Structure 1
């Protein structure tokens, strides 16, 4: 019997999807860092435009992947214990990505409570879509050339130096003039010393291997391909939907069925199952595909949950010509 979606999810049926696994957490971390190491190793072996380009394509996806694992740790679902979530989430996920887990958690939980409303700190990342094709091309060009990344890095420095971190990681600029009056070098140091230390360790490892310059791949990917993938991922989750500016997750949150190359770039670590995540945030990432299948069996997508078949279709939704409602294909 299919679930009646006017009623809460039955606890006894969803309990298996809430199970956490240290093995799964370490496996995802090992896969992400293994690909990072492979990218660095490829350029150390032979540095040329082809290997550097390939490394930047993959590294941007792995940086987003570490961001998703940090997100898991923020929800305390990457590992079984709170201590391991905090340590691994901060040092193996957040700090290499220039993020402070504590600040991110505060911001992200506000997003869950306020998605689709003016109080959502993530709103600037998705509220203005769809846009014209020309506008989208300009945005993507700013991403891949590093202009978006430089702006985002500047916003991060203001955030970390500010007495108020409630704006989170939306890279909004509207409040920066007010915040500039309350910036402090001491606050900046307290909020980003872990980021500096983690990246210094990566530079030291490259130097010990005799190729210190290869570390530059990391900030370059962060400024370019990571920004590109992040934009597409952000809009795929909540943008260009009929209910984007509504608090109803059945209208403002989208799941995307991703191919292997999309999972390597814009949708790492099961982040494409975003409706499932908002419906039940306690489900660990590795459980989301199974939870998605159960929801389909229970009729969630026939009931109206937004579903897209691939990120190329999402790109069409990001333009004014692709405004049609996301609907499942039966």
Structure 2
């Protein structure tokens, strides 16, 4: 089969391209290289079943040509990372909503199967509003902050992507699924846009202070990119009618950011100090963050008999090895 991956030169997209090529498919990576990097896919350039098209998801005519030739579309292109979202809110909203709208419309016109990337960010502050909630299910309510806080622009834009996908499934019968990724991490991920693990690893290896934003007591579940890629492949290969469905894609291994910094320091054998930096110093006054966010992956397991399970230390060791090699 021929796959089109928007954002195919990005972190997740490049690993997905690896896996699909290993499974004897062909892949067109479509990327404007704003956050994606040629280095992520350089090892694929000699593969006759791989090609790169440099283009923007807002470029309708160029995207139309790419989608028309694909059997399956995987839409990953988006503005990513808290830092980039805070610095470029207009680009975030235009890319995430406008780009997804164009991709879905063209996928409908050409009758293509499609998966779109969403995010655990759409849950917002749900677990803080309901402290008895142990894990976030696809059917749980979501709670976002005020529109005056640009922190929530990304979450809102990705929620709109899900609404659009569901609308195309219900109104036009489009074969589309939405994937809510929870903190996907692994080799090739850049720390330039605020991703915590590559930043911690780089700081530890350089002997710099490991900078923890906030008090470090906030917890997250980190998902190895290899597990995320396997989940995507299995969902797209499923014989079930999944059109319009939403899936959490995440690990249940929960860790505080403070403990994460300590594990990075231990695994790198680093003498770095762990320092705590107020959110306001990084993102400006009034920044809001979630204290806890863990996924309920029951639906994923029941659908494809798989859940991401690689432990946090394995993720850290893989990232450390990749940073050292680079």
Query: Where on the TM-score scale, by shorter chain, does this alignment land: which range?
Result: under 0.3
Judging by fraction of residues, say which structure has more strand. 2
Q: TM-score, normalised by structure 1?
A: 0.27
